[in-house]
Structure 1
Amino acid sequence: MDFYLTALLQGLCLSGIALGIYISMKIFNIPDITTDGSYTLGGAVTGMLLSNHLPIGIVLPVVIIAGGLAGVFTGLIHTKLKINPLLSGILVMTGLYSINLSIMGRSNIPLLNYTTLFDSFHFIADLNWNSLIVLLFIGTLLILLIGYILKSDYGITMRATGNSEKMVSALGVNIDRIKIVGLGFANALTAVSGFLMTQFQGFTDINMGIGIVIVGLGSVIIADTFINWMNISSIWISLILVCLGAILFQLVLAFTLSIGIDPTLLKLITALFVLSIVSLPRLNLTRN
């Protein structure tokens, strides 16, 4: 039970990544690889500040700003230098590796003897269930915030930009600015996941973000599959499904480990699982 509870907690920690990729991939149709770097950036900033005994109230805003700036740089490279968005993300992600290492000062920062978010809020005695309450509260706040933004006038403009840039541009909207802000917002959410996961696992590591983009992508694909199957148009339900996709993704990996699969094959299992989710709807369409 604790094994699957841990997977559930990890899924909630990674919901920020899923929501960030949902914005970049589904709203703007931009495959943003900055995620690998901005996730680690969130963890690096968190580890560095907490190890210097700064309070959570200061750490979280700094993490959000740092992740947002990473996305902004990707947006600027893409829009102002007219570089392919995929390559723009790769360039920023590559540069962030050195930046993250400089922030940390070493490859790993343990946080076992420092006060974390989960130490600051005690609702019940059991640590795992207490963490679940904290993460559910944070996840709810993220969904409410993103839903409110996407349903606002600015959010509607963001969504329209992803659907038809030419139409929005014809209305006099600055497309480049919309994309830059959107990518900044998406990577700020990703950095929040790094902030949460670092405190949940009790350390931050320079390699913690390697391949993390596929976790977020898989979560969004799972959610998108259910959204299409059930013909869901509600933004609120879509955001909830994205978070549930992140949880389901982690539960599947936990099940894989629980049945005795070699942990060295976990990345391969992850890739095959995402491939199966992507392929399933297309196979059904072929049969019809």
Structure 2
Amino acid sequence: MVFLDLLISTLTQGFIYALLSYGVFITYKILDFPDLTVDGSFPLGAAITAVLLVNGMDPYLVLLISAAVGALAGLATGFIHVRLGVRDLLAGIITMTALFSVNLQIAGSNLAVERAIDTIFTAKPVMVILGPMSLMMRKFIVTLVLALLVKLLLDLYLKTKSGLLLRAVGDNSTLVTTLAKDKGTMKILGLVIANGLVALCGSVVCQEQRAFASTMGTGQVVFGLATVIIGTTLFRRFSFVKGTTAVLVGSVFYKICIQVAISLGLPANLLKLVMAVLFLAVLILGEKKKGGAKYA
């Protein structure tokens, strides 16, 4: 029973963070853009969520608002890079640094959401449908549905003309220009969508943990990159598997690895080290499978 509870909890975390991984998938794999904004837009979504929930706003509406504000963070990075001519890596660092102060202004260094306040896991619609279930199972089902819904919407978008142009920016930007489209605008659009998803993930994490911390974004870009690379490496030979599916599996697999490390008695203060080592191992494995090609 304890093992089953642990498995459900780990899968839930994998589903939640898949939302972040979708965002990193867009910037890293599709746009070929090393976007460090993630470490700022993730806690931004959480900060907005904590403040709005404390002030009595509907938790489902909070998800949309958090995603919209995160999209603005992506817009800022895109504007700095495309319109002001700042290098992609530096543009992300600038926005990430600015967002740290913005998040502190919004919610302070820490903000707790009281148990009496409804979240997406305890609000009336969920309670009506899943009421008899335990909170753990409600979290599992809600996050699974959310992860699959976002995946399906993203898959549908990538099949549209706009989505195909977005994919072309990373693979062949000349083609986009040939089609009389501004590749800079498409980059900005990609960053807007990606950071909207990252902030959405931050919002769900805040509602799941009922807390915001200004440092909760630290290392999220590493997690996102690792899950994307794990997923795409696992399914490299299966061309029929969509990128979003691979990323979802990568997120769950990564969370399972971390949980195994914790179960083996690894001290909590060494988790970031384990994340870094696992990321390095995945990079090396991926490089070997590509015949020595580099990721960065």
Bin for the TM-score computed over the shorter chain: over 0.9
Change (3 A) 1:160 1:283: closer
Among 235, 245, 270, the residue aligned to 1:265: 270
Decide whether the 8 Å contact of 1:16 with 1:190 is kept in 2: yes
Q: Distance in 2 between matches of 1:200 and 1:7?
A: 13
Residue 248 of structure 1 pairs with residue 256 of structure 2: no
How far apart are residue 284 of structure 1 and its match? 5.0
Residue 232 of structure 1 pairs with residue 239 of structure 2: yes
Among 283, 286, 291, the residue aligned to 1:278: 283
> Structure 1 counterpart of 2:187, which letter?
K
Partner of 1:111: 113
Q: Distance in 1 between matches of 2:290 and 2:207?
A: 43
Q: Distance in 1 between matches of 2:172 and 2:291?
A: 28
Q: Distance in 2 between matches of 1:167 and 1:30?
A: 18
Q: SS where residue 119 of structure 1 aligns?
A: coil
Partner of 1:35: 38
Residue 16 of structure 1 pairs with residue 19 of structure 2: yes
Decide whether the 8 Å contact of 1:39 with 1:190 is kept in 2: yes
Cα-Cα RMSD: 1.4
Q: Distance in 2 between matches of 1:211 and 1:75?
A: 21
Write out the 4+ residue segments of structure 1 that deviate beyond 4 Å after TM superposition: 284-287
> Structure 2 counterpart of 1:6, which letter?
S
Q: Distance in 2 between matches of 1:5 and 1:220?
A: 22
Unmatched 5+ stretches in structure 2: none
Q: Distance in 2 between matches of 1:182 and 1:136?
A: 24
Partner of 1:26: 29
How far apart are residue 58 of structure 1 and its match? 2.6
Moved more, 237-246 or 74-83: 237-246
Partner of 1:172: 180
> Structure 1 counterpart of 2:239, which letter?
I
How far apart are residue 80 of structure 1 and its match? 0.7
How far apart are residue 247 of structure 1 and its match? 1.0
How far apart are residue 40 of structure 1 and its match? 0.3
Give deviations 1:136-174, integer Å, cap 9, x for gaps. 111111011100100111101111111011221122111
Partner of 1:194: 202
Among 44, 51, 55, the residue aligned to 2:54: 51
